[in-house]
Amino acid sequence: MIKSFLREPLLHFIVLAGSLFIVWGIRNPEATPTEPPKPKIVVSEARIDSLIDIFAKVRQRPPTGQELRGLIDDYLQEEILYREALAMRLDEDDTIVRRRLRQKMELFIEDITSAAQPSEKQLEEFLQANADQFRVDRKMALRQVYLDPEKHPETFERDVAELKSKLNEESDPHEYGDTTLLPAVFELSPLSQFTQMFGGQFGSEVFALNAGQWQGPVPSSYGAHLVFVVEKQEGRLPPLEEIRSKVELEWFARKRVNAKLEFYERLRENFEIVIESPKEVSAGKESAL
Amino acid sequence: MSTSRIRIVYTLTVLLVASVAHGQDVGTATSENLRAVAQKRPYSPHAGGAVPTRVFWGDTHLHTSFSLDAGAFGNRLGLEEAYRFARGEELQSTSAGPVKLARPLDFLVIADHSDNMGFFPDLIAGDPALLSDPKGREWSERIKAGEGVGVALEVIDLFSRGKIPPKLIYYPDTKMYRTAWERTIQAAEKYNEPGRFTAFIGYEWTSQVPPGQNLHRVVVYRDGADKAKQTVPATTYPPQGSSDPEFLWKLLQQYEDKTGGDVLAIPHNGNLSNGLMFPIINHVDRKPLTKQYATTRSKWEPLVEATQMKGDGETHPFLSPNDEFADFGTWDKGNLNLSELKTKEMLQYEYVRSALKTGLKLQQELGVNPYKFGLIGSTDSHTSLSTADEDNFFGKHAGSEPSPERYAHPFMKGSGAEFKGWETLASGYAAVWAKENTREAIFDAMERKEVYGTTGPRMTVRFFAGWDFQPADASSRQPAVIGYQKGVPMGGDLAKAPQGKAPTFLVAALKDPIGANLDRLQVIKGWVDKSGKLQERLYDVAVSGGRQIGADGRCKTPVGNTVDVKNATWSNTIGNTELITVWKDPDFDPALSAFYYLRVLEIPTPRWTAYDAKYYGLKLPAEIPLEQQERAYTSPIWYTP
C-alpha cells in the first residue's frame, strides 16, 4: 500500500514543486514583500564642499585626497550613528541635547528679530524713555597731592595748611606731598573713575568743590588729598546723533529680550499644559535665594 | 594760579614736546631739575602716551552658554549678557538671583571652547535664492518690518506640517548656516568701545591629552572682525584638529601670514596637566624639546594664567618648601578629569615658578627660553559671570552658583580622589599697564608682559629693575616716572651687569581702594647656579606695621589677623595701604642668569566659603578654609649675562 503510494506521480510532482519553491525563496531574500527599502545617505557635493571649507578655514589649506577621504568617512560615521541614535530616541532624555536645542531656538528668534532696523523716531523715543541709562557721567580734570597721615603723626594739620598755601603759590603737584602710586594729574575723566581709584565718596566730594584753587584735605581709602579742580563738566543727556550706536545697541538688546519672551508665550498657546502637583513640596528651602 | 594760566602752560608744554623729537624720554623727575623736565615731557603724564599710567582690569578667560559644557551645566546667559555684566550691569544669574560686580571690568576675552560650537540657520541674510521664492520674499519683508516673532511661528508651523517650501529648507551644508564663531566675533565687535571697554575676540583651544592632561590655551586676537573671521578657531579633534600645542602654534602662524593679524595664546591649569604643561620632554615624540619648539612657544605664549578657579598655579609647597605662603589654592590630586593621580615628579613641570626656572636652564641648553612668560590671573568661569571677589562669588559653573549646598558638590571625581565644590577659588583677574583702553594698547602690553595677576583684589602694583635705583627713589613723589626712566618695568630684561653692580628694584603696591590692607612685598628670585642646578629664594623686601626684616632677608613675624569668620568681615587696622621700597639683590652673581618677580600679600580676609556660611547660616566641616591671604604676582624681569 505504502509502496504504491510512493510511486504515485502526483506526489512526485508536489514534492518536487515544493522543494523548488523553498530553494528559490532562500536564494532570493529580497523578494520577500515585507522588507522596506534601505534608507539612503547621499554625501552631496555641497556637503563635501562644506567639509573642505571647514577644514581649510581651520588648517589654512585644502585637505589632501587622503584627508578628504578621512573627512568623508568621519562624516558618514557621524551621520549613521546620529540617525540611529535618533531612531532609538536617545535625544529625548538627554539634558545636553535638550539645552542645546533650546539655545538654538532662542538664537533663531534672536536672528529673525534683529534684522529689523529701528526708525529715527523709535530711537529718539527710546532715548527719551530711558534717559537715565544714556546720561553721561559728571566729569572733572584734577590735580592731587597725597598726604599719608601716618607720616605726620603730630603735625598733620599744620603740614596740610603749609602745603596748601605753598601749592596755591606754585601749583605743580609733582613736587609735593608723600609718595604714592596714584597719578598726580587727571585729565577730564568720569566721576566713576575717581571712585574706582580712590574709593568711597572721593569723587563726589571733590566735585562739590570750586575749581581754580588748592583745597582739602579730602579723605580717601589711602589717606588725605589736597586737590585742585581744573575743570568740571556736569552730567548731561547727549543728543541722539552723538550716541546713536549706543542707543541702537540698547534698543536691540531690549528687543531681543522681549522677542524671546513673546515667542515663548505664543508657542505656549499651542499647548494644553497640565502640571501635576508634586507629592511633597519641601517648604522653605528656596527662601534663602 | 588761574585755570587759564594753567591751560597756557599746558599748551606751551605740549608745543615744546611737539618740537622735541619723541615722547619716549619721560624725563628726570628729581626736584633739582624739575623745571628742565617740564620741557622734555608734557605736564600731564597722560599726554603724549610716553608711559602707561593706568592699570586696566580684566578677565581673559570667560565661558558663556556657547561652550558646550557651560550649556550642559545649565548656563543660559550668552555672549551679550557676559559683556553687559563685565561692563557693570546688573543681571539675573542662571540660578541664584540678581548679580552685579562691585566695579566694572575694563576688558574681557570671551573664550568659549572651540570644539562643538553650534550652528544655526540664518534665514534673514537676504540671499537671492531665498528671495526668489514668494514665501521667502514675504518673510524677508515682514522680518524687516519687525514682525520676526510672527515669521518664526509660521516657520515652525510649516515645518511641523512638512509644508516648508523646498527652496527655504536649510541644511548644514548650505551657506545659510551662521557659525557660533561668527556670532562670537559679532558680539565682541558690538561691545568693544575703545577708550571705555575692550571686548577682545578670542576662543579656548581645549586640548586634553589622554587620559585627561590639561593643555588648554586661550587664544586672544588683537584684530577686529575683518581679520578674525577669515579663519575659524583651531580645534582639538582629528581630522581637522589636534591636541598637540605645536599644531596650535602652526595655525596661529598661518592666521598671521594670511591676514597680517596678531594673536597670542595663554596656557592655563598646568596644575591639572600631570606634568605636561611646562615639559623638558615633548610628550608627542617623547624627545627632548628642540630649539624650534622653544622659539615657537616663546613667540606665541608670552603669558601664563597663573591663578584661576581650578587652583592657583604659582608654586607648590613640595617645590618651594621654604615658602610658607606657597600652599595657596593647591589642586594637586590628579589631572583634569581625575582619571590619573598626581605624583610628586610631575609637579615641577606644572607650576609657573618652577617653569620659569626650567626656562633658564633650557635657555643655556637650546639658546632660547621657551618659558619666558609674564603672569596674569583670570576666572575660567563657565557662568558668563566674571566674578573673582570673595563676597560676590558666583562659582565655576551654573550648578555652583550660590546655594547652601554648593560647598559640598563634587566638582570632579575619579581614581578614588575628588575635587569638592569648596576647593574652587574665587580667583582671579588680569591687570595690564597700558596707555589706553583699546584692543591694540592692551594686547601690546600683554605681548611686552607689562601685566600682573591677582587672586581677585585690585591692588596697584609696580615693579621696576635697573642698575641705579637709590633709596630716595622710593620716597619721590612720582615713583613710576623714575621707574621707567632708570629701569625696565615688569616683563622686561636686564642685560650685562655694569662692572661691580647688582640689580636694584623699585617695588611698590597700593591696596585695592575698597579692599584689604597690604601685609608685605616679596621678591622671588630663581637662577641656575654654577653647577647647573636650579635654585629659588624668597626675600621680604617691604613689610607693614614696622616689623623687621632679618639679615636673611626674611620677616617671620606674621602680620596678624582681624578676620571675624562668623560675620565674614575684617578690619584694616593692621597692614599698610601702600608699601614701597628700593631693594638690591644681596646675592647677585653677574655670571648667572636669573629672574625676579614680585609677590604682594594682603592681610588675611574671609574666603568665599565664610560668606556662604554666614549668608546661609551653615556650619561647615573643619577641613574647609574660611580665611586666606589674597595676593598678586607680577611678570618677572630677567637678567641674562
Task: Count other Cβ atoms within 10 Å, centred on residue B611.
Answer: 20
**Beta carbons of B143 and A211 less than 8 Å apart:** no
Angle at Cα B65 formed by Cα B63 and Cα B67, nearest 5°?
60
Does the pTM surpass 0.80? The reply is yes
More confident position, A104 or B61: B61
3-state secondary structure B127-140: CHHHHCCHHHHHHH
Residue A96 and residue B72: Cβ atoms within 8 Å? yes
pLDDT band at B50 (very low <50, low <70, confident <90, very high): low
CB contact under 8 A, B146 and A44: no
Instruction: Dump pLDDT digits (tens) for B152-190.
Output: 788 777 776 777 777 666 544 444 445 778 889 999 999
A176 touches chain B (CB under 8 A): yes
B635 vs chain A: nearest CA distance in angstroms? 18
Mean pLDDT of chain B: 87
> Quick check: A50 and B54 CB within 8 A?
no
Cell of B244: 598637540
CA-based nearest residue in chain A for residue B479: A181
**B511-536: pLDDT as tens digits:** 999 999 999 999 999 999 999 999 99
Question: Does the beta-carbon distance from B123 to A199 stay under 8 Å?
Answer: no
Distance CA B430, CA B452 (A): 6
Are B143 and A212 inside 8 Å of each other by CB?
no
The DSSP secondary structure of B358-417, one letter per residue, reads HHHHHHHHHSS-TT--EEEE---BSSS-----GGG---SSGGGSS-TTGGGSEEEEETTE
CA distance B149 to chain A (A): 6
The interface residues of chain A toward chain B in range 49-68, judged by CB-CB distance below 8 A, are 49-50, 54-55, 57-61, 63, 67
Residues of B in contact with A289 (CB under 8 A): 95-97, 402-403
How far is B274 from B277, CA to CA, in rounded Å? 8
- The answer to whether A221 contacts B31, with C-beta atoms less than 8 Å apart, is no
- Please name the residue of chain A whose CA is at the shortest distance from the CA of residue B119: A104
CA nearest A253 in B: which residue? B80
Residue B26: per-residue pLDDT: 30
Q: What share of chain A is helix, strand, coil (3-state, %, to 5)?
A: 55, 10, 35
Quick: pLDDT tens for A215-234: 989 999 998 999 999 999 99
Q: Which residue has the cell 523716531?
A: A121
- Cβ neighbours, 10 Å, residue B27: 21
Contact A111 B477 (CB under 8 A): no
- Please tell me if residue A219 touches chain B, with a CB cutoff of 8 Å: no
| Residue numbers in B near A249 (CB within 8 A) | 190-191
Cβ distance of A266 and B402 shorter than 8 Å: no
User: Is A179 close to B174, i.e. CB distance below 8 A?
Assistant: no
Beta strands in B153-288 (DSSP E): 177-179, 198-200, 202-205, 208-209, 213-214, 217-221, 263-267, 281-282, 287-288
* CA nearest to B124, candidates B80, B187, B178: B178
Predicted confidence band of residue B39 (pLDDT cuts 50, 70, 90): very low
Question: How far does chain A reach from its first CA to its final CA, in angstroms?
Answer: 97
Q: Which residue of A has its CA nearest to B149?
A: A263
Long-range contacts at A134-137 (CB < 8 A, ≥ 24 apart): A134/A237, A134/A238, A134/A243, A134/A246, A134/A247, A134/A250, A135/A235, A135/A236, A135/A237, A136/A190, A136/A235, A136/A236, A136/A237, A136/A238, A137/A190, A137/A191, A137/A192, A137/A235
Q: What would the grid cell of residue B308 be? A: 584661576
- How far apart, in whole angstroms, are the C-alpha atoms of residue B207 and residue B264? 16
Chain A closest CA to B76's CA: distance in Å? Answer: 8
Residues near A81 by beta carbon (within 8 Å), at least 6 away in sequence: none
Q: How far is A235 from chain B (nearest CA, A)?
A: 17
Report d(CA B429, CA B108) in Å as an integer: 10
Phi then psi for B11, rounded to 5 degrees?
A: -60, -45
Residue B574's closest CA among B547, B603, B594?
A: B603
Contact residues, chain A, for B151 at CB < 8 Å:
112
Cα gap B278→B301, rounded to integer Å? 12
Nearest neighbour of B6 by CB, restricted to A61, A199, A230: A230
Which chain A residue has its CA at the smallest distance from B618's CA? A288
Cβ A83 vs Cβ A40: under 8 Å: no
By the CB < 8 Å criterion, does A174 face chain B? yes
Q: What is the mean pLDDT of residues B100-107?
A: 96
* Nearest C-alpha in A relative to B176: A50
For residue B255, the distance in angstroms to the closest alpha carbon of chain A comes to 7
Q: What is the pLDDT of residue A20?
A: 55
pLDDT of residue B632: 98
Q: Which residue of A has its CA nearest to B193?
A: A246
Residues 6+ away with beta carbon under 8 Å from A106: A260
Nearest CA in chain A to B78: A103
Do B96 and A180 lie within an 8 Å CB cutoff? no
Partner residue opposite A249 with nearest CB, options B2, B6, B190: B190
Ranges of H-type helices in B453-585: 479-486
Cβ within 8 Å, pair A54-B232: yes
B124–A115 C-beta distance less than 8 A? yes
Phi, psi of A226 (to 5 degrees): -90, 140
Cβ–Cβ pairs < 8 A, chains A and B: 192
Over residues B411-439, mean pLDDT: 94
pLDDT in tens, A42-77: 998 888 988 888 888 888 889 999 999 999 999 999
**The three cell numbers locating residue B589:** 652673581
The DSSP code for A142 is: E
Higher local confidence (pLDDT), B305 or B121:
B305
